[in-house]
Amino acid sequence: MLKFFGNKGGSDDSSTGPGPFGPYQLQELINTGGMADLWLATNPEGQTVAVRLLLSKLKGDGIARKRFIAGCEILAAVHDHEYLIHYVEHGKLQGQHFLVMEYVEGLNLKEAMAEETMDLSDLIGNILIDSAEALEHVHDCGYMHLDFKPENILVSRNGNVRLLDFDLSQPRPETPVKLQKNPGTPAYMAPEQLQREPIDHRVDIFAYGVMAYEVLTGQKPFQGSTPDEILRRQIHRGSEFKTPRDLNPHIPVALEKSILKAIEADPNKRHGHISVLLHELKTALYV
């Protein structure tokens, strides 16, 4: 069986165990993340679902609780798309905040790239286009994902894609806005976000470009052990910067051009909308 996403493991602080949870039957703890446990479960009809539970240690953390609930609400608003994880319901049961989603057997993209038995070579085109379509749908629904990265892209053995995790998502502004909080994963954050400047949906386009670069080359375009080091390499691209084709000459020239535009340090030099990038991807990949 393939993992849903993340590494299987237990939660030291969770008092929940296998057994009834409201109308659901929790079967197996399949992942513990920074905010929640993920359970393999069955619904009253006996169908397999995934149940996400806010970690017990975060019950008293107002910021974490609001973020978890907001992520549930945004998923409920955007999930009606074949490349987004399907929402079932969310709420509070037995004193615990929960989210029920479809269960899809697969690895997250980060795991899939490292999985020796999974050959992505014939799936990369589909993954790039389908994940871009997922992001396009999120933007069209009026939101920024703000945590777009391989760990949040689920891939099945036959290449089906699901975009996950809307805990950090925010409404898409008409003009760039400065966020009060600045959570995220630095390696995929755009320079303006790392510098705490006003942002808009173009930070997701930057994150997409980093993901695409990584999938195609096996390494991130801007490596560093600290956010400041990553930011320096994003802005000052000297001889140490490698283009995708420097690392993988089999990448089509047009595809490289699109990726390099997506990861421009200046947001005004990136694609204005993910749909423009998506069109370029389909042209470059002859879809």
Please give the average pLDDT of every successive group of 10 residues along the chain, which has 287 residues.
37 66 95 91 96 92 93 97 97 95 93 83 93 98 97 90 96 94 90 96 98 96 95 90 96 97 98 98 89
pLDDT of residue 15: 53
Helices 124-140 and 274-284 pack at an angle, to 10 degrees, of 160
Helical segments of the chain, H only: 62-78, 109-114, 124-140, 191-194, 202-217, 227-235, 244-247, 253-262, 274-284
CB atoms within 10 A of CB 246: 11
- Give the domains, in start order, of the chain with CATH numbers: 19-102 (3.30.200.20), 107-284 (1.10.510.10)
pTM of structure: 0.91
pLDDT of residue 286: 85
Amino acid at 241: F
